Amino acid sequence: MKIAIALVLLIDLYLVVYYRLMAKFYQEKITGSSQSGMAVLLSIPPYRSLPAVAQKYVRRYWWAVAVMGACIAALFAVSDIRFPA
């Protein structure tokens, strides 16, 4: 079970990076300015200023982030980690 959740988490991490970079591509296409890759990955993507195609990638980005949070919560639920009281 842990391995399956970890695999989904790794695939989801790839999707988060992919969707964020696609939103960056369309944002740069509109504004004409470029950003560094690391700054883009650590920032929240804009939504309203992007065209419909880019908004699709931003929505998918947020869904992938939600799935990532659920995977991390599931890993904590099935793991045997005990914190000292």
User: Full-prediction pTM beyond 0.85?
Assistant: no
As given in the structure block, the two tokens for residue 73 are 């919560």
- The domain spans of the chain are 7-78
Counting beta carbons within 10 angstroms of the beta carbon of residue 77, is it exposed (0 to 12), middle (13 to 18) or buried (19 or more)? exposed
Q: What integer pLDDT is reported at residue 47 of this predicted model?
A: 79
Q: Which backbone phi and psi does 36 adopt, to 5 degrees?
A: -75, 155
Each residue's pLDDT, cut to its tens digit, for the chain (85 residues) gives: 888 988 999 999 999 999 988 888 888 888 787 777 777 777 777 778 788 888 899 899 999 999 999 999 998 888 877 766 6
